Amino acid sequence: MRNMPVSGVHPAFTAAIIHLLHIKSTGNYGRSEAMRCLYICVKSLYEMNVNWNWANRSIRAILSLAREWDIDIWAHGLAQEINEESRRQFERYEMDDLVVFHDQGSEGSFEHVYSLDDIFESWTYDQCFGESSLDFFV
């Protein structure tokens, strides 16, 4: 997978989403096969993440959806199949995603750490249910 072009990330991501939807939307029928295919897609994305950061974005989206839909993708030993280099690459990607705000109001510097997912979620919530932070029509 290391020599896979970046265009290989999108089909693996799309297939993973389809398998997640299959697991979420159906009962036990075909669930184990969909889980096996999801396992292959996620493992492939981890193998591609060393060369392509787009794979890390895909992994993050898959993990987020799986968490939201209560699907445990790690239950069948997937973590043991991911090599250390790919695991560290994803961890570095996640750490680079954190935004730190310094509160300078007190003696000790207080840091607020937000992930870009948190910021996006907050913004989209405001777009749907509250005041727009980017109100172009005022």
- Per-residue pLDDT of 16-61, as tens digits, reads 999 999 998 877 788 889 999 999 999 999 999 988 888 999 999 9
87 φ/ψ angles, rounded to the nearest 5 degrees: -65, -45
Yes or no: say if 38 and 23 are a contact pair by the CB < 8 Å rule. yes
Query: How far is residue 3 from each of residues 7, 9, 82, measured CA to CA in Å?
Result: 11, 12, 17
Tokens found for residue 18: 């389809």
Mean pLDDT of 84-89: 91
Its pTM stands at 0.67
Give the pLDDT confidence score for residue 136 in this predicted structure. 40
Mean pLDDT of the chain: 78
